[in-house]
Amino acid sequence: MSFNHRKSVTYRLVQAARVHRTRAAVHLGRIGLHPGQEAVLKALAERDGQSMSELAAELAVQPPTVTKMISRLGAQGLLTRQTSSADGRLARVFLTDAGRERAGAVDAVWKRVEKEALSGLDEKDRKRLKKLLHQIEKNLAPATPAGHDEDDEEAPEAEPLKARPALTLDGVDDGSD
């Protein structure tokens, strides 16, 4: 029997991510942003004056992608690039007052999309879903150096890949390796 990908958890995850991005794009469009641009504004709101390479690393995108986003956000007057006085090859990116204001508006968009996405789920289900998604993220993410796990203290620690049992498509260890 062939694998029906449309019935898989990962297919549902991809579909949920797709409709989430579409819904977020609608709400972000109302405040003059495209998906991905809000992440730049929020990253700078948390730590203004990052270099392009720092932003690329934080956002997990390629440097040319950051360059394009910075150019577009700069054209909107939301941020500025300033050459470092210590190293003329290094440009740092700073939010303008308008950029800070727009970054604040992003929070309202994220809250609205979160509310829409989790409608009909009680608090227990929301917490469990968050933990499960965090575990999937950890399972699929490249290995990180020991002691450098990110955020979410609520999420359980993932076992090392070698220690995980073999799983079948229905999630049960069938003992065959």
What the chain holds in terms of domains, given with CATH numbers, is: 5-137 (1.10.10.10)
Considering Cα of 123, then 124, then 129, then 134, what sign does the dihedral take? positive
Would you state the pLDDT for residue 111?
Answer: 96
Would you state the pLDDT for residue 162?
Answer: 38
| Per-run averaged pLDDT (10 residues), the chain, 177 residues | 86 95 96 96 96 94 94 96 85 96 96 96 96 94 61 44 38 38
Tokens standing for 167? 């799983």
What contacts 14, CB < 8 A, 6 or more positions away? none
Would you state the pLDDT for residue 170?
Answer: 38
Would you state the pLDDT for residue 149?
Answer: 52
Tokens standing for 137? 């993220």
pTM over 0.85: no
The per-residue b/e assignment along 59-73, b for 16 or more CB within 10 angstroms, e otherwise, is bebeeeebeebbebb
Would you state the pLDDT for residue 50?
Answer: 95
Would you state the pLDDT for residue 59?
Answer: 95
